[in-house]
Structure 1
Amino acid sequence: GDSQFVLPLCPDTIFSTKPRQTGHIAPARTLLRLGEDTGFDMQLLPDATVPAAEDAKLSLPDGWQFEAAPAASSTGMSGRVTLASDARAGHYRIHATLADEPVYTAQELAYAHIRRQTRFSRAAADIALVDTAGLDGLTIGWIDGGVDEAHHWAGQLGAQIVQLDDSDLQSGSFDGLDVLVAGVFAGGTRPVNQSMRYIRPWIEAGGHFVSQYHRPVDNWDRATSSPLPLQPGTPSIRWRVTDASAPVQMLQPDHPLFAGPNPITDKDFGGWIKERGLYFASEWDQAYVPLLAMSDSGEKPLEGSLLAAEIGAGSHVHCALNLFYQMDHMVVGAFRLFANLLTPFNGK
């Protein structure tokens, strides 16, 4: 009757502490053009009722100013951030405090294979101030593969984005488009191969087509996934550059794609993260010009990361650089190169 036993139990929710102030800053990411944009709107959105708005503070870069909107209240704070007149291009991060306590953002994790848990990180807003030309005046048809958000950044640069559905692709409904983009892995879920019989004549008539990187398993067909024969290399581990700081050689520094609208230099390949690119092309038609060479340390240089061809009166660029990831993480040079990729360059 005096027997005792211990039964360990795993709680559904891990016991943890919580920061005094939680919330988020919106927008979380902002792209600004140096010399064009002088400021942007911002909100601090606490998760609970907070002290008076005057107790909220933003950690702004030197010379930047925040003017709160009249409607600021205990439910949060909104207003406009004005850049310093001498602000330089770069990646800036803004944090917030409430009642002298740092604000953290909560992230709930709940998956079948782990216990429910909450992670906290400093609430932040990231700003990329980029010395770049815009894409104003361009109408871009986007074949979205559901993987990247490059179309968002193209819109932020001033382009009008038209999301194409499968019926548009299968009927060749490209009227009014200046540029056509196939997003990352788009061929795996979208009828890109079937629409190439329409895309190729559209290019020849003066259209500019940009394809982002694809895996061989994304229904890639050497003859029909691209307007001219092109093949991603296999096995993929041999056709990528994992060192984000690997030296980049510009094979054709005078190519129109590097000349404008932004003059591209080695500086634009600085500060990259995670990797240079992946699923590089291993074979391509002789009409394509390889523009870059790069490699991981001790390996043979690869030239299939960025290819360009003039086809009739139009052009095709195939990009295996991981640009969308760089832009999502506010790498300034990636935006400059991205703007060039989306700008038609055929001088015919």
Structure 2
Amino acid sequence: ENKPAIPIIYTLNIDGTSIKINSELIYTSTDPVKGEVVKPCMIVPELMGEIENPIYILTNNEARTINVKLKTNGKAKSGICMLAVPRGWRVEPINHTFSLSQKEEKLLSFKIFPPPSNFTGYLRAAAVSDGVTYSQNVDLIEYDHIPTQLVLDDAQAKLIKTDLVIKGNKIAYIMGAGDEVPECLELIGYDVTNLTESEINLENLKQYDAVLTGIRAFNTNKYLEYKTKVLHEYVNGGGTVLVQYNTNHRLVTKDIAPYPIKLSRDRVTEENASVQLINKEHVALNSPNKITTQDFQYWIQERGLYFPNEWDENFVPLIASNDTNEKSKTGSILVAEYGDGHFVYTGISWFRQLPAGVPGAYRLIANLISLGN
């Protein structure tokens, strides 16, 4: 929780005893639905900059447009805005001049040109006005069940230049408990559509190159109990379905896959745990991107969770990994052919790795999506 922007200390004297009470300056308003709403007083920069996306992934040497949003929180401001790029990158123009009136927003566009080699680093935005440099963005966190929080972040974005090829283009996504995977897939060129319950029918699915289910989709979407048959028919006809992790408790159906599979609580919690490729010749480890153990560098928090520990012989495990002093686990990525298509069950924590901009995670999930394309 943030420290008070404007703290207030009340000192009470009760019968010769001093009691101090800490408080803060607050703002109270009335909402027609919620009633009285109390918010803390906040101090923000007079001028803020925000880069449009938190991550930019470049897979070739073509320029990429970067948009920066400038916003005044108080009086009018004018000056120059610039992007700081890592060594080896180039930006055009060098800077933009701007003039903003009170509480105005403006979008400024730059083009960045990547180096020929692979790279991971950061892009930073700054604006200079009246001799003062402004390089922060405000992230406001507002939920009914917690106090409003204000986070001041640097105006920056992650830059990734990597060898990455995708096959197929149109992806259908069935959201579960909520994740940012669809937005991440769009960063590397996929056209992603979030499906509603009524849109999960065989005729509609035929237009997509692959169907992905979000994290815990089979825990949170009751209707999937009746839609698994549709997904299996889609695979049988030549489609690819990729199911992300679900917990083994309160599944809406145990028939997630077209073949028997049993979920467990197996996981690998060490993000740097060693990974072995146990079926090196499998197409999912070779096309369109050649996967090596180098692709498992720079992962965050964990490898994955709730891996299956029993599965039908039609499933092929691709990798093995384990935490220190624990047995090797091979259920994190399972691929099966079914009819003319492919079914993938994976407990890999894509929902963490993709938003964090882990290059190897993008290369690997692109291969899984590309199966059959």
Quickly name the TM-score band, shorter chain normalised: 0.7 to 0.9
Shift of residue 273, structure 1, vs aligned partner: 0.9
**Which is worse superposed, 12-21 or 243-252?**
12-21
Match of 1:293 in 2: 320
Q: 2:169 aligns with which of 138, 146, 150?
A: 138
Q: 1:337 aligns with which of 361, 364, 367?
A: 364
Kept in 2: contact 1:65–1:84 (CA 8 A): no
The TM-score with structure 1 as length reference comes to 0.86
Match of 2:111 in 1: 81
Tell me the matched-pair count.
339
Shift of residue 50, structure 1, vs aligned partner: 6.0
Kept in 1: contact 2:166–2:370 (CA 8 A): no
Distance in 2 of aligned mates of 1:108 and 1:12? 18
Distance in 2 of aligned mates of 1:6 and 1:87? 67
Report SS of the residue matched to 1:303.
coil
- Structure 2: 5+ residue runs without aligned partners? 1-12, 27-39
Match of 2:193 in 1: 162
Report SS of the residue matched to 2:20.
coil
Distance in 2 of aligned mates of 1:284 and 1:172? 29
TM-aligned CA distance change 1:193 to 1:268, over 3 Å: same
Structure 2 counterparts to residues 258-277 of structure 1, below 5 A: 258-277=285-304
Amino acid of the structure 1 residue aligned with 2:52: P
Distance in 1 of aligned mates of 2:134 and 2:42? 15
- Structure 1: 5+ residue runs without aligned partners? none
Report SS of the residue matched to 2:288.
coil
Q: 2:151 aligns with which of 119, 128, 137?
A: 119
Q: 1:149 aligns with which of 180, 201, 205?
A: 180
Shift of residue 325, structure 1, vs aligned partner: 1.1
Match of 1:66 in 2: 92
Amino acid of the structure 2 residue aligned with 1:67: P
Match of 1:32 in 2: 57
Match of 2:332 in 1: 305
Deviations 1:170-205 (A, max 9, x none): 676423222111111111232223111222222112
Distance in 1 of aligned mates of 2:143 and 2:174? 31
Distance in 1 of aligned mates of 2:164 and 2:179? 21
Distance in 2 of aligned mates of 1:40 and 1:317? 34
Report SS of the residue matched to 1:328.
coil
Distance in 2 of aligned mates of 1:304 and 1:30? 30
Query: Higher strand proportion, which one?
Result: 2
Report SS of the residue matched to 1:280.
strand
Q: 1:52 aligns with which of 78, 96, 100?
A: 78
**Which is worse superposed, 150-159 or 279-288?**
150-159
Distance in 1 of aligned mates of 2:220 and 2:146? 30
Distance in 1 of aligned mates of 2:185 and 2:162? 13
Match of 2:207 in 1: 176
Distance in 1 of aligned mates of 2:61 and 2:186? 15
RMSD: 3.0
Kept in 1: contact 2:59–2:163 (CA 8 A): yes
TM-aligned CA distance change 1:312 to 1:13, over 3 Å: farther
Kept in 1: contact 2:180–2:351 (CA 8 A): yes
Identical-pair percentage: 24
**Which is worse superposed, 69-78 or 102-111?**
69-78
Shift of residue 285, structure 1, vs aligned partner: 1.0
